[in-house]
Amino acid sequence: MEKEIAEIRNAIRDIPNFPKPGIIFKDITPLLGNGPLFRKTIDVLADRYRNQSVDMVLGIESRGFIIGSALAYRLGAGFCIVRKPGKLPYETHRASYELEYGSDTLEVHRDALRPRARVLIADDLIATGGTAAAAIELVSKLGGEVVECAFVIELAFLKGREKLKPCGVYSILQYDSE
Q: Does 127 bind ligand AMP (CB under 6 A)?
A: yes
Closer residue to ligand AMP in complex, CB, 24/37: 24
User: Residues 143-172: x/- map of binding to ligand AMP (CB under 6 A)?
Assistant: -----------------x------------
Closest distance to ligand AMP from the beta carbon of 57 (Å): 15
> Which one of 129, 135, 169, 173 is in contact with ligand AMP (CB under 6 A)?
129
One DSSP character per residue, 81-140 reads EEBSTT--SS-EEEEEEE-SSSEEEEEEETTSS-TT-EEEEEEEEESSSHHHHHHHHHHH
Q: Which of 4, 9, 48, 63 is catalytic?
A: 63
Closest distance to ligand AMP from the beta carbon of 131 (Å): 3
User: Residues 9-48: x/- map of binding to ligand AMP (CB under 6 A)?
Assistant: --------------xxxx----------------------
Q: How many angstroms separate the CA atoms of 43 and 10, rounded? A: 17
Q: How many angstroms separate the CA atoms of 36 and 149, rounded? A: 24
Q: Does 123 bind ligand AMP (CB under 6 A)?
A: yes
Q: What are phi and psi of 21, to 5 degrees?
A: -55, 140
Closest to 175 measured CA to CA, from 25, 2, 19, 17: 25
Q: How many angstroms separate the CA atoms of 42 and 120, rounded? A: 14
Binding residues vs ligand AMP (CB under 6 A): 23-26, 60, 63, 123-131, 160
Catalytic residues: 63, 100
